[in-house]
Amino acid sequence: MKNASTAAGFRNSTFTALGAGLVVALGAAPPIPLGILPVPVTLQSFGVMLAGLLLGPRRAGAAMLVVVALVAMGLPVLAGGRGGLAVLIGPTAGYLYGWVPGAMLIGALALRADRVESMLGRGVVYVGACMAGGVAVVHACGVLWLTGVIGLEFGKALWGTLLFVPGDLIKALAAALVCRRIEALISVRRH
C-alpha cells in the first residue's frame, strides 16, 4: 500500500510541475501592452486554462501556487521576464493571484465534463469552464486588485479588463481543442 501511495504522490508532483512548467514556458512569449491598463496580454492565461482542463482542480491549483512561489523567489517566470516581490504587489498581482482559484474552477468543471459522452458537448463544457475560471474568476481578481489595492477607478478597471475578453475567448477555444486532442491520444486523469 505504501508503494501505491508513493507512486500517486510522485505522479501528482510530476503533473503539478508540468502544469507550472507549461505556464512558465508560455511566459517566454513577449507581453503585449494595451495601454489602457497596466496589465499586458500574455499567453500565460492560455496555460492556466489548459492546466485546469488537463490536471483537475487540485493539481492545477497547486501548479499555479508553484508559479506564484517562483515569482516570489524572484525568478523571471512571467511574460517579459518579470518576477520578484514587486510583481506580487504591483498592478498585475490580482490577475496572478486569480490564476489559483481560476485554474481550480476550470479543473472542477472539467471533472464534470468527464460524464458528457458527446465530443462536441464535452468541448462546449471545456470552453465554458475556461470562460468561468480563466476569464471570469481571473478578471474579477484582477479588477478587485486594481481598484482595492492600486486605487484605479472601478469603471476604468472593468472596461479595461473587458478588452482582454475577445482574446481570452480565443484562448479558451484553443485550450478546449488542445485538451480534446490530448484526450484522443492518451487517458487524462484529473485530480
Please state, in angstroms and rounded to a whole number, the distance separating the CA atoms of residues 90 and 146: 9
The rounded percent of the chain whose pLDDT value lies above 70 is 98
pLDDT of residue 93: 96
CATH 1.20.1260.10 holds for 2-185 = no
What is the average pLDDT score of the chain?
93
pLDDT surpasses 60 at 1: no
For residue 90, give the DSSP letter. Answer: S
pLDDT of residue 11: 86
Please state, in angstroms and rounded to a whole number, the distance separating the CA atoms of residues 87 and 84: 6
At 2, is the pLDDT very low, low, confident or very high (cuts 50, 70, 90)?
low
* pLDDT tens-digit map of 111-124: 999 888 888 999 99
Least confident of 135-139, 174-178, 179-183: 179-183
* pLDDT tens-digit map of 15-36: 999 999 999 999 999 999 887 7
pLDDT of residue 37: 80
* pLDDT tens-digit map of 147-158: 999 899 999 999
* pLDDT tens-digit map of 84-95: 999 999 999 999
pLDDT of residue 4: 67
The set of cell numbers assigned to 56 is 483537475
pLDDT surpasses 70 at 106: yes
* pLDDT tens-digit map of 35-77: 778 888 999 999 999 999 999 999 999 999 999 999 999 999 9
The set of cell numbers assigned to 95 is 490577475
- 127 burial (CB, 10 Å; 0-12 / 13-18 / 19+) is buried
| Mutual angle of helices 93-113 and 138-145, in 10-degree steps | 160
Please state, in angstroms and rounded to a whole number, the distance separating the CA atoms of residues 113 and 115: 5
pLDDT of residue 143: 96
Q: Residue 141's Cα: distance from chain center in Å?
A: 13
Q: What is the pTM of this model?
A: 0.93
